Amino acid sequence: MKPIGVFDSGVGGLTVVKELIRQLPGENIVYFGDTARVPYGIKSKETVIRFSIENILFLLEQDVKLICVACNTVSSVALPIIKSHFRVPIVGVITPGVREAVYATQNKRIGVIGTRGTVKSNAYEKQIKQLDPSMKVVSVACPLFVPFAEEGLLEGGEVLSIARKYLKPLNKFGVDTVILGCTHYPLLKPVIKKVLGKDVTLIDSAKQVAIEVKRILATEGLLNTDRKKASHKFYVSDNPEWFTGLAARFLGAPVSGARKINNV
Amino acid sequence: MKPIGVFDSGVGGLTVVKELIRQLPGENIVYFGDTARVPYGIKSKETVIRFSIENILFLLEQDVKLICVACNTVSSVALPIIKSHFRVPIVGVITPGVREAVYATQNKRIGVIGTRGTVKSNAYEKQIKQLDPSMKVVSVACPLFVPFAEEGLLEGGEVLSIARKYLKPLNKFGVDTVILGCTHYPLLKPVIKKVLGKDVTLIDSAKQVAIEVKRILATEGLLNTDRKKASHKFYVSDNPEWFTGLAARFLGAPVSGARKINNV
């Protein structure tokens, strides 16, 4: 049975794979991490679109039935274009996260944190207001969170202090709900929670993304009904050892046999 | 008169351009920053070599007379290969830094700090011992220093605290000289100095790189003797605005008109 394709600029998208495996244990998955060109968050829209198209073409070669864009930067800046190019269903991470946040907020004040690219695109704010124009949104970029997560610096005084600086506008604005608009950020949940306070709800898109994927597969009659054990394959454009070393932190389980491909 | 070509994975190489302009004010310079694929420090040898060859081909199209590899990662892992491929003289940043450090140390204990790629390659240690086998060397990777420098987080408690963790082995080893083995690190000199103590000499390769470039141009009869004002051109593979925004911090002067090219 055809696999679900998932891609990300690097390793962060594995937080989405983790949730897909939980909700769709019978589905085969092919993951591609563009580790030769990671990170995307600081790159221009035009370049992110070009890289995304190359990644999708690789996944299509693997005969995937649906593509999940497990990268907030790509979902923010490139999704409309790539959806218009390809016939395969493509699911991004913005809409599912927005839906969950709008549902969760009580005081209609939502915070969004992400890479510079994601924040600059304003994609979250636009979609939130489209769903409910009465919402108030404040977005901030937290560029050091990605290197912190990749270096495993998930707690301690330094991270806490920098998180306080980044998240100050959110506290000031009185948000009760914050979207973790980058697949790396769930790793920093404890620190973010500490700074924002325990009454603020953190929205991690992964759960809603997997729900959306499940809904589309069911609607299209594409759910895998084989009884065979599902296969999970991992491809990267560089450094499979580096990827494998980090993978467990994001996936919650070790990855074996990540393969390097030269498509980029 | 033909220009000097300089390339780096991004913006860090401008610290070398700054020194070239100081020592060779009459020379035309063409700089290329591979901002679409930055950073190189976490990428594999094979990928760094491939990217470097593409960058060199672009500089050769600009008709350069010498190429300066203003990136420690490339100089560490790719220099022998790229030197063997091309006829144009190619100067890296390792040998000049090593020469200066071996000259500067009194107690024969040298520290090297750099990206993971640079440290893993062991290029500095090999070259130091080749020049003087009695030297003792300790190398540590400081992966968060690049994001700190790019985010302009050059001082303050968080940086100081992380620098203390990274540099502990150097203090313990009793080095009296430390090579800043990454073009971003000169921006963090004050913090590094504070942690290592004022008696430790910090070696910034840029000065020696420019001396080496000058020596080669003089030997080969390639020095520019025009009386015209020198031209400095800057090309990037992505995000000229981002590059221009950061450039002043590295070059010490603003960059105007960085142009985006699509060669990668």
- Each residue's pLDDT expressed in tens, for chain B with a length of 264 residues: 899 999 999 999 999 999 999 999 999 999 999 999 999 988 999 999 999 999 999 999 999 999 999 999 999 999 999 999 999 999 999 999 999 999 999 999 999 999 999 999 999 999 999 999 999 999 999 999 999 998 999 999 999 999 999 999 999 999 999 999 999 999 999 999 999 999 999 999 899 999 999 999 999 999 998 878 899 999 999 999 989 989 998 998 899 889 999 866
Q: Which of A6, A77, A98, A182 is catalytic?
A: A182
Residue A68 is a catalytic residue: no
Which residues does chain B have within 8 Å of residue A242's beta carbon, measured at their own beta carbons? 42, 44
**b/e for A101-132, b at 16 or more Cβ within 10 A?**
bbeebeeebbbbbbbebbbbbebbbebbbeee
Contact between B151 and A161 using a beta-carbon 8 Å cutoff: no
Question: Is any Cβ of chain A less than 8 angstroms from the Cβ of B157?
Answer: yes
| Min Cα–Cα distance to chain B from A14, Å | 19
How many angstroms separate the most distant Cα atoms in chain B? 52
Q: Domain B94-205: give its CATH code.
A: 3.40.50.1860
Report chain A residues whose CB lies below 8 A from the CB of B166. none
B182 an active-site residue?
yes
Residue in the structure block whose two tokens are 């990540």: A258
Helix extents (H) in chain A: 14-23, 45-61, 72-77, 79-85, 94-104, 116-121, 123-131, 145-151, 157-173, 189-196, 206-219, 240-251
Query: CB A234: neighbour CB atoms within 10 A?
Result: 23
**Interface residue A147 vs chain B (CB under 8 A):** yes
CB contact under 8 A, B36 and A36: no
Residues of A with Cβ-Cβ distance to B43 under 8 angstroms: 35-36, 238-239
Chain A residues touching B44 at Cβ < 8 A:
238-239, 242
For residue B157, give the chain A residue with the closest CA. Answer: A158
Of the candidates B40, B39, B36, B5, the one whose C-alpha atom is nearest the C-alpha of residue B20 is B5
What CATH number is given for A4-92+207-260 in this structure? Answer: 3.40.50.1860
Among B64, B84, B87, B67, smallest CA distance to B8 is for B67
For residue B31, the cross-strand partners are B6, B234
- Asked if A264 is an interface residue toward chain B (Cβ–Cβ < 8 A), one would say no
> Which tens digit of pLDDT belongs to each residue from B11-28?
999 999 999 999 999 999
Mutant choice from A45, A140, A144, A263 vs B, greatest count of B C-beta within 10 A: A144
Q: Are A175 and A110 in contact (CB under 8 A)?
A: yes
Cβ separation A37–B37 shorter than 8 A: yes
pTM: 0.90
Among B35, B43, B158, the residue with its CB nearest the CB of A238 is B43
Instruction: Measure CB to CB from residue B238 to each of A43, A153, A162 and give the nearest one.
Output: A43
- Looking at residue A29, its amino acid is I
> What CA–CA distances, in Å, run from A89 to A132, A208, A219, B32, B49?
26, 16, 12, 38, 36
Interface contact A158-B153, CB threshold 8 A: no
Selecting among A64, A71, A102, A146, the annotated active-site residue is: A71
Q: How many residues does chain A have?
A: 264
- Planar angle of CA B82, A37, A17, nearest 5 degrees: 140
Query: Which residues of chain B form CATH 3.40.50.1860?
Result: 4-92+207-260, 94-205
- Grouping H, G, I as helix, E, B as strand and the rest as coil, residue B176 is coil
In angstroms and rounded to an integer, the radius of gyration of the C-alpha atoms of chain B is: 18
d(CA A86, CA A66): 11
List the 218-247 stretch of B: residues with Cβ below 8 A of A. Answer: 237-239, 242
Give the residue carrying structure tokens 């190019």. A85
Beta-strand (E) ranges in B71-215?
90-91, 109-114, 136-141, 177-181, 201-204
Q: Confidence band (pLDDT; 50, 70, 90) for A263?
A: low
- Which stretches within B90-156 are classed as H helix? 94-104, 116-121, 123-131, 145-151
Beta carbons within 8 Å of B57's beta carbon, 6+ residues apart: B263
Q: Residue A264's pLDDT is what?
A: 61
Q: What is the pLDDT of residues B61-87, one digit of tens each?
A: 999 999 999 999 999 999 999 999 999
Nearest residue to A20 via CA among A32, A28, A8: A28
> For residue B186, which of B11, B12, B6 has the smallest C-alpha distance?
B12
Q: Which residues pair with A66 in a beta bridge?
A: A4
Q: Is A50 exposed, middle or buried (0-12, 13-18, 19+ CB in 10 A)?
A: middle
